Structure 1
Amino acid sequence: LPASQQEHIFNAAWGGSHKTGQLICNACNQSFSTNVDEVFSLYTTAIMNAWSFKGQRHKSVPIIELDGDYVLEAGAKLRIKPEKPLFEEKNLPNGQIRTKISFNSKGEAKRWLNNGGAESWLGRSLTPEEREYLLSLIKESEPQRREPEPQEASTTLNLRNQYRSSAHTILKCLGFFLPDLVCSPLTQPIRQFARYDEGDWRLFAVEPEQFFSLGEEITNLLGLGVYHNSVEIYWSSSSRMIVGILTLLNRVKRAVIISNNYAGSDKILYVFEDTNLSKKPPTAILAEIDSSKFCQPLLGVQYFAQPTKMYEYFYNELVGLTSIYNPIDAMKAELIKSLEEVNKHHTTLEGSTIDQYQTLYLNFFIKLGKVLQVSVDSVKIDSKLQEYGFSRLRLELKGRNITDPEVESIIVQAFDSVLSDWTQNRL
Structure 2
Amino acid sequence: MFTRFEKLSRRASELKNCFYCGAFLPAISGEHIFNSSWGSSYKDKNLICCQCNFSFSNSTDKAFLIYVQAVMNSWVFKGERHQKVPKIVLENEYFLDQGAKLKLKQPLIEDEILPDESIKSRLTFNSKSEAKRWTEGDGMATWLGRPPLAEEQEQLKKIIIETQLDRTDAKPQPISYQLNLREQYRSTAHTILKCLAFFLPEWVQEDLTKPIREFARYDKGDWRTFAIETKELFPVAEQATKHLGLGVHQNSVEIYWNSSTKMVVGVLTILNRVKRSVVIAQDYSGSDSILYVVEGTHGSNKPPDSVFIEFDQKQFPLPLFSVQYFSSPNNIYQYFHNELATLMGIYYPIDAITARLMQEIEKNNKKNLKLDHVSLEEYLNLFLSFLLDLGKVTGTSVDMTKARSKLIEYGFANLAHQHIGKLYTDPDVESLMTLAFEGAVKDFHAGVISIG
- Which TM-score applies when normalising by structure 2? 0.81
Quick check: 395-404 or 106-115, which moved more? 106-115
Retained in 1: the 8 A contact 2:136–2:153? no
User: How many matched pairs?
Assistant: 413
Name the residue aligned to 1:140: 158
Quick check: 151-160 or 225-234, which moved more? 151-160
Q: Which amino acid aligns with 2:422?
A: R
> Are 2:42 and 1:47 aligned?
no
> Are 2:386 and 1:368 aligned?
no
Q: Which amino acid aligns with 1:261?
A: D
Cα distance per residue 1:376-400 (max 9 Å; x no partner): 2445534543554444434443332
1:2-13 correspondence runs (5 A):
2-13=26-37
Q: Which amino acid aligns with 2:248?
A: V
Q: Which amino acid aligns with 1:139?
A: K
Rounded to whole Å, the distance in 2 between the matches of 1:201 and 1:275 is 28
Retained in 1: the 8 A contact 2:291–2:307? yes
Long gaps (5+) in structure 1: 88-99
Q: Which amino acid aligns with 2:158?
A: E
- Which TM-score applies when normalising by structure 1? 0.86
Name the residue aligned to 2:237: 215
Quick check: 246-255 or 232-241, which moved more? 232-241
Cα distance per residue 1:184-220 (max 9 Å; x no partner): 1111110010000011111111111111211111101
Q: Which amino acid aligns with 1:9?
A: I
Rounded to whole Å, the distance in 2 between the matches of 1:179 and 1:153 is 41
Q: Which amino acid aligns with 1:73?
A: D
Rounded to whole Å, the distance in 2 between the matches of 1:119 and 1:353 is 47
Q: CA deviation at 1:157?
A: 0.8
Rounded to whole Å, the distance in 1 between the matches of 2:421 and 2:311 is 46
Name the residue aligned to 1:244: 266
1:62 to 86, 97, 120: 86
> Are 2:196 and 1:174 aligned?
yes
1:25-424 correspondence runs (5 A):
25-82=49-106, 104=125, 107-108=129-130, 111=133, 136=154, 139-142=157-160, 151-294=173-316, 296-386=318-408, 388-423=410-445
Retained in 1: the 8 A contact 2:255–2:264? yes
Instruction: Please give the secondary structure, in 1, of the residue aligned with 2:64.
Output: helix
Cα distance per residue 1:347-388 (max 9 Å; x no partner): 223333333222211221121112211232445534543554
Retained in 1: the 8 A contact 2:92–2:174? yes
Name the residue aligned to 2:13: none
Distance 1:109 1:365, change over 3 A: closer
> Are 2:40 and 1:16 aligned?
yes
Retained in 2: the 8 A contact 1:106–1:138? no
Q: Which amino acid aligns with 2:407?
A: L
Retained in 2: the 8 A contact 1:109–1:138? no
Identity of aligned residues (%): 49
Retained in 2: the 8 A contact 1:3–1:25? yes
Name the residue aligned to 2:9: none
Retained in 2: the 8 A contact 1:106–1:139? no
Long gaps (5+) in structure 2: 1-24, 112-120
Retained in 1: the 8 A contact 2:132–2:157? no
Distance 1:2 1:59, change over 3 A: same
Q: CA deviation at 1:271?
A: 1.1
Question: Which of 1 and 2 has higher RCO (CA within 8 Å, sep 6+)?
Answer: 2
Name the residue aligned to 2:18: none
Rounded to whole Å, the distance in 1 between the matches of 2:278 and 2:212 is 9
Instruction: Please give the secondary structure, in 2, of the residue aligned with 1:318.
Output: helix
Distance 1:298 1:65, change over 3 A: same
Instruction: Please give the secondary structure, in 1, of the residue aligned with 2:430.
Output: helix
Rounded to whole Å, the distance in 2 between the matches of 1:251 and 1:6 is 26
